[in-house]
Amino acid sequence: MQLAPAVAMPPVWVGNASAAAIRRAARLGNGWFPSLISPEEVARGRDRLAELASEHRRPTPVIAIGGTAHVGGGPAAQAEIASGISGAYGRPLEEVAGIPLTGQPEEVAERLAEYRAAGASHAVIGVSGGDWRAQVDLLAEVRALLLP
């Protein structure tokens, strides 16, 4: 009897922004996937991730952020989404107030550029704000603004 060829292991992405998740990503992961954190938190995590990966003699994992957007939404939309994040994750409202990606496409692109500068090379964005098709079209505008 002969076994079929082995299937290649798919990339492993470690979610969460905790110190334990960063350690796991550095030791075992191909990517680190924190959600609903600020660019400043991404940058701190990136530095720690690189340090730990080096200690394990591994390449630094790729970073993808998870976020939520209401492109075209103003301060009321941002406050509503931030309130939901605060309640769901038990984080102080003032800590999460700037996390929702709201405003016009140019403003959302600027915010995503901050995440890119902090080390994120991928973004997984959930949409809020009613008409998801319109939101996806607006996110396409945001993406076009970010392309070189």
In a domain? residue 3:
no
In a domain? residue 21:
yes
In a domain? residue 84:
yes
CATH number at residue 63: 3.20.20.30
Q: Which domain holds residue 142?
A: 13-146
In a domain? residue 132:
yes
Structurally, the chain folds into a number of domains equal to 1
Which residues, listed in sequence order, are joined to residue 103 by a DSSP beta bridge?
71
pTM of the entire predicted model: 0.91
pLDDT by residue, tens only, the chain of 148 residues: 677 778 888 999 999 999 999 999 999 999 999 999 999 999 999 999 999 999 999 999 999 999 999 999 999 999 999 999 999 999 999 999 999 999 999 999 999 999 999 999 999 999 998 899 999 999 999 999 998 7
Q: Using alpha carbons only, what angle is made at residue 109 by residues 107 and 97, rounded to the nearest 5 degrees? A: 55
